[in-house]
């Protein structure tokens, strides 16, 4: 079996197991923190994609990579400002 099939089945099963166990052990706050981080991660990717499309017409290239997305997901608006500062002034 290809590894992608194993991962696509194993990750949801593991998350379901963590959800069931978390209800009994009170891991709700930890799982909530993970879900907030992954939402911020996905939103940062979407934001970088929109910036990439908008700024691409003016000749600048906004990289969409793991570092940029993680920086914006962790720092928020200061992360966006930092990434744009790096793009325009370097």
User: If pLDDT is split at 50, 70 and 90, which confidence band does 40 have?
Assistant: very high
What per-residue confidence (pLDDT) applies to 46?
92
C-alpha–C-alpha distance, residues 69 and 42, integer Å:
8
What's the N-to-C CA distance of the chain in angstroms? 46
C-alpha–C-alpha distance, residues 5 and 18, integer Å:
20
C-alpha–C-alpha distance, residues 5 and 15, integer Å:
16
Q: Mean pLDDT, to the nearest integer, of 17-45?
A: 80
C-alpha–C-alpha distance, residues 20 and 44, integer Å:
29
Q: What is the pTM of this model?
A: 0.64
Q: How many CB atoms lie within 10 A of CB 73?
A: 20
Q: Mean pLDDT, to the nearest integer, of 13-35?
A: 76
C-alpha–C-alpha distance, residues 79 and 73, integer Å:
8
Q: Is the pLDDT of residue 73 over 80?
A: yes
């Amino acid at each position: 079996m290809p590894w992608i099939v194993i991962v696509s089945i194993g990750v949801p099963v593991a998350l379901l197991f963590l959800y069931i166990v978390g209800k009994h052990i009170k891991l709700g706050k930890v799982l909530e923190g993970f879900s907030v981080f992954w939402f911020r991660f996905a939103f940062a990717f979407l934001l970088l994609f929109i910036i990439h499309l908008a700024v691409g017409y003016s000749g600048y290239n906004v990289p969409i990579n793991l570092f940029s997305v993680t920086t914006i997901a962790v720092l928020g608006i200061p992360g966006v400002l930092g990434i744009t500062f790096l793009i325009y002034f370097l």
